[in-house]
Amino acid sequence: MMRNIFYKPLLSAYILSGIALFSSCTTVNTVERETPVGTKQIIADKRVITDSTLNKKVSIVGLNEGVTNGGFLQVQIEVLNRKNSLQDFSYRFEWFDMNGMLVDTPTSVWIPRQIEGQETMTITAVAPAAGVKDFRVKFIENVRKN
């Protein structure tokens, strides 16, 4: 008898939380050419992961590098949301010259983005000057209160 009193509300709570959890999940299906024509200039990268939760939400798949017509370094980062729900994050590019000095530019700002569940997103940035040789990208979870 006692077991029934606790069992029913507990079961209902589990079911309701399950519905709430799975109803918020919206994932992205994708389709693309089986053998891509374009060849990516994938570059080796060094990662410093301090927030493993964010790393699951915004997982870096690869870095692609190129040069624009004007001789500017162009970087594309492919990120994947390994979670099944929409995630907020911000990123910021920092650019460095030949001597490893940070190039201060108005384009170096934290950019907020949203990524759907299991979605792959490409982030593109162009170096602010022709003398820029290196870059660093920072990712952070949304710290603003909604």
CA distance 122 to 107: 18
CA distance 104 to 91: 16
Measured from the CB atom, is 13 or 109 closer to other proteins?
Answer: 109
Which segments of the chain does DSSP mark as H helices, in order? 2-23, 52-57
Measured from the CB atom, is 118 or 142 closer to other proteins?
Answer: 142
Instruction: Name the phi and psi angles at 21, rounded to 5.
Output: -70, -50
Q: Is 133 in the site for other proteins (CB under 8 A)?
A: no
Q: How far is the CB of 92 from other proteins (least distance, A)?
A: 8
Query: Site for other proteins (CB under 8 A): which residue of 69, 98, 99, 100?
Result: 69
Residue numbers at the binding site for other proteins (CB under 8 A)? 68-70, 72, 74, 90, 103, 105-112, 124-130, 140, 142-144
